[in-house]
Amino acid sequence: MRILMVCLGNICRSPLAEGILKHKARQRGLDWWVDSAGTGGWHVGELPDQRSIDVARRFGIDITDQRARQVRPEDFERFDLIFAMDRQNLQHLQQMTSRPEHLQKIRFLLDVLYPGQEREVPDPYYGGPEGFVQVFRLVEAACERLLEEHRPQ
Ligand code: 4NP
């Protein structure tokens, strides 16, 4: 599986999603390709937000190898699934392509847990550290379910 996690800045939510899914896939011996990107370009080249680095580290995951990048047109070819954290991310992704085979790759990450409910991973950027713990827990539960669904038979 090749999976792209997408948020707005690629410094808070999607770096956590990338780090968590990579960690869990590796633990299961799965050869998954996982990356993340932002719909916006303000933070390109930056490390993840310190609050994301801290919460990941608390749960034993190092995300300091990541640098922010923006979503690119070729991402729609290179990945099997493209997960948006919130509705704004999802709509931005949908506006980047008109091809049905690309559009069908785009999902809400939390649809893995709550199909059809269009639930969002809340943007923690302007809040306190507890928001990052909430993001971590939501994303971790979704990644766990994703791996269960794709367990080798
Ligand atoms: P992210 O959070 O989309 O989860 O990376 C944000 C990061 C930066 C900004 C907003 C949200 N910003 O406005 O710069």
What are the structural domain ranges in the chain?
2-149
Where does residue 108 fall: left (phi above 0), alpha (psi -120 to 50 degrees), or beta otherwise? beta
Can you give the pLDDT at residue 94? 98
Can you give the pLDDT at residue 39? 98
- 66 within ligand 1 shell (Cβ under 6 A): no
What are the pLDDT tens digits along the chain (153 aa)?
A: 999 999 999 999 999 999 999 999 999 999 999 999 999 999 999 999 999 999 999 999 999 999 999 999 999 999 999 999 999 999 999 999 999 999 999 999 999 999 999 999 999 999 999 999 999 999 999 999 999 998 766
Can you give the pLDDT at residue 153? 60
- 131 within ligand 1 shell (Cβ under 6 A): no
Write the residue with the smallest CA distance to atom 8 of ligand 1.
Answer: 9
CATH topology classification for 2-149: Rossmann fold (3.40.50)
Give the residue numbers marked as catalytic.
7, 13, 123
Can you give the pLDDT at residue 150? 87
Question: How many other C-beta atoms are found inside a 10 Å radius of the C-beta of residue 93?
Answer: 24
Can you give the pLDDT at residue 61? 98
Can you give the pLDDT at residue 151? 78
Can you give the pLDDT at residue 144? 98
Count of CA atoms in the C-beta half-sphere (13 A) of 127: 13
Can you give the pLDDT at residue 25? 97
Can you give the pLDDT at residue 152? 67
Yes or no: say if 90 and 109 are a contact pair by the CB < 8 Å rule.
no
DSSP state of 70: B
